[in-house]
Structure 1
């Protein structure tokens, strides 16, 4: 698929050179997102109830680039050409050719239609109100948008920061949408990344960010009778915390068991907020999990006492997927998983192996 992505963009920029300006100079992250989006789409061609909303969200999000209908035509042509060149000539029959035409037309029509019907802004501007270092590689950034954004707790948005123009990255708000237009992100630096280290090292109060339209299928469950299992690692706690804060405003909720994980104890950076939620809401149980018992060498703060958070279960040690699978049977729960792609997939497979049905497990496309 990576070879297909390189071929596709090479064809696109050769045949339509004016479109090169829509993309960043470094294309690695863009190609990775393309591969994952194509894989997600192909896996769900026979599941329109899940695929079409995803494509509609992408169409609304792509407005931030200034994409026009003719640009979709160019991209679809490049994808088809790249596929045809990579396929065996005996396999690429007239029937296959027509199938790709129909599939790509469905994708582009859905995205264009959703973009044309949308009435919200293509881009929101945001002013940084607070940039607070939590760990040396993790920062909490709070902004005020130029106008409120209506997003569902659990969704994510694309952001562009001043230090990295045209390099959009996905972040999940850690608080629910509000009328004041304030939004909060938890950002961890990715080793070798372009954008997250720039946010960690260079974000200052007063900086102007840009944000795209909300994306993602996670959200507060509507069935108050079905129990919920939430599993988040690192900054993956952000979209789960936003949902818990939203649920705390309702009268009735199902029981929620949240497992929050990290490699080291210091990675459990948001336990104070989770403790407040657990104390105030008896339907919430929280279990912290770390792979190791000791903090890394660079963490110089005094070692905190264990289990000092009211309402929080004792910390457990081990890989979070194993800990969750061994803790109990979750077949009667709806499940949400947020974390790195490897963590999400490993946790999903372990839960399925222990009896949880795949249809009850939700996670967003692994962008």
Structure 2
């Protein structure tokens, strides 16, 4: 299973028995949490070597799981490390831990992960941690990690099994349209072979036939359609096997696979009637889908959209958004260009947001490069926007970011 940390489902789990359960206390005591975090500080400088060792012993002891993984393991090792660190961060925030691990469990269905795979992963993961922690590894630390992984496994298994009752793990989809949208960018429209229900603003992972078991998340640029098609705006990433295949190799008639829709950056998360959308690059895709959803609901929100870029040439999709603003009185579009002079839209995104704010009476949706999202979030919170009203997909989503 292309998995993240987990352990035998028979382990003691005093909290979080199911993905949907209400958790009122942390699964570990303060002492156990401190032990885990102390051990992480020991192994973190050796984390790259530790993940190599983990997969080496996993494939040696349990060769039956090797076909579930891609041939190239660099992105997979990075994903494991990020998920491990995220779980450690959340170990004393039970609601967030359950939400994150539930996401992992549902997402891992597309790999063919089964309940029986969890003990193997947990066994090898604890062995890797023990090896690289060295003398710092004690019986108490081992017990704390085992307990924590029991919680993770319970939530992942429960979320996956509940998800399997209502939808497939993978959808086949045929490419029915493909067109260039700029240098290194392609618009790709898919027709799923079975109904694919998603909410505007969510993302889906795609696997191509040319790189089996390599999945890359992309956000549909549309709200749901009667014909069920999904349109993606995909930028070819240097060295990215999936993105380059979709931009430069894929053709109409090719069949790809979709994982389940994920993400909580949806319109129903909004409380306020005024909305602020901020997008950079092809991060405009989920924002465009959300705008279509606002229009579908009759334009009951007032929406300000800011498009950020370093240069005018990188100000992706601005013409389409301006045309949309001409059709819908509730939409206002502005640009922010940081590295060159463009009349009317000069300035870094945080500065422009501050200039046109405050935005504390808005729900905010951010999408684009992680650095852009982080700087926009910092600027908004500094000027009074409540953090719980700022919506974006997590930087540490358990999916490879460079394929």
In 2, are the aligned partners of 1:57 and 1:214 still within 8 Å (CA)?
no
Candidates 99, 108, 111, aligned match of 1:53:
99
Between 1:211-220 and 1:56-65, the stretch displaced more is 56-65
Deviation at 1:205, TM superposition (A): 0.6
Counterpart mapping for 1:231-310 below 5 A: 231-251=278-298, 253-293=300-340
Give the aligned partner of residue 94 of structure 1.
Answer: 139
- 1:24 corresponds, among 41, 58, 70, to 70
Work out which of the residue numbers 350, 353, 369 in structure 2 matches 1:324: 353
Partner of 1:204: 251
Q: Kindly state the Cα deviation for residue 94 of structure 1 after the two structures are TM-superposed.
A: 3.3
Q: Tell me, what secondary structure is at the counterpart of 1:316?
A: coil
What's the CA shift for 1:131? Answer: 1.0
- Flag the 1:321–1:5 CA change in 2: closer, same or farther, 3 A: farther
Q: Secondary structure at the match of 1:285?
A: strand
CA-to-partner distance for each residue in 1:268-320, whole Å, 9 max, x for gaps? 332343224323333322212223448xxxxxxxxxxx8xxxxxxx7512332
Q: How many Å separate the matches in 1 of 2:311 and 2:335? A: 11
Q: Report the counterpart of residue 64 of structure 1 in structure 2.
A: 110
Q: Which of 155, 159, 176 does residue 110 from structure 1 map onto?
A: 155
CA distance in 2 between partners of 1:271 and 1:57 (Å): 33
Moved over 6 A (4+): none
Distance 2:54 2:300 in 1: 47
* Residues 270 and 363, structure 2, Cα contact 8 Å, conserved in 1: no
**1:104-143 residue pairs with structure 2 within 5 A?**
104-118=149-163, 119-143=166-190
- Where 1:279 maps in the other structure, the secondary structure is helix
Q: What's the offset of the Cα at 1:170? A: 0.7
Which one of the candidate residues 141, 150, 158 is aligned to 2:205? Answer: 158
Structure with higher RCO (Cα < 8 A, 6+ apart): 2
TM-score, normalization by structure 2:
0.79
SS of residue paired to 2:231: strand
Q: Structure 1 pair 117/209, CA: closer, same or farther in 2 (3 Å)?
A: same
Q: CA deviation at 1:252?
A: 5.6
Return the offset for 1:226: 4.5
> Is contact 2:306-2:335 (8 Å) kept?
yes
1:293-349 Cα deviation digits (max 9, x unpaired):
48xxxxxxxxxxx8xxxxxxx751233233323432223332222112222222222
Q: Which residue of 2 aligns with 1:302?
A: none
Give the aligned partner of residue 237 of structure 2.
190
Residues 203 and 102 of structure 1: is their aligned pair in 2 closer, same or farther, counting only changes over 3 Å? same
Q: In 1, Cα distance between the equivalents of 2:134 and 2:357?
A: 48
Determine the C-alpha separation between the residues in 2 that align with 1:285 and 1:46: 41
Q: Is the 8 A contact 1:131 1:140 kept in 2?
A: yes
Structure 1 unmatched runs, 5+: 295-305, 307-313
Q: 1:337 to 1:43 in 2, by over 3 A?
A: farther
- 1:364 corresponds to which of 384, 390, 393: 393
CA–CA distance in structure 1, aligned partners of residues 87 and 350 of structure 2: 26
What is aligned with 1:176?
A: 223
Q: Is the 8 A contact 1:232 1:338 kept in 2?
A: yes
Measured in 2, the distance between the counterparts of 1:362 and 1:88 equals: 41
Residue 338 of structure 1: aligned partner:
367
CA distance in 1 between partners of 2:146 and 2:248 (Å): 46
Number of matched pairs:
348
Unpaired stretches in structure 2, ≥5 consecutive residues: 1-43, 398-403
- Deviation track 1:2-27 (CA, whole Å, cap 9, x = no partner) reads 42433332332232222221111111
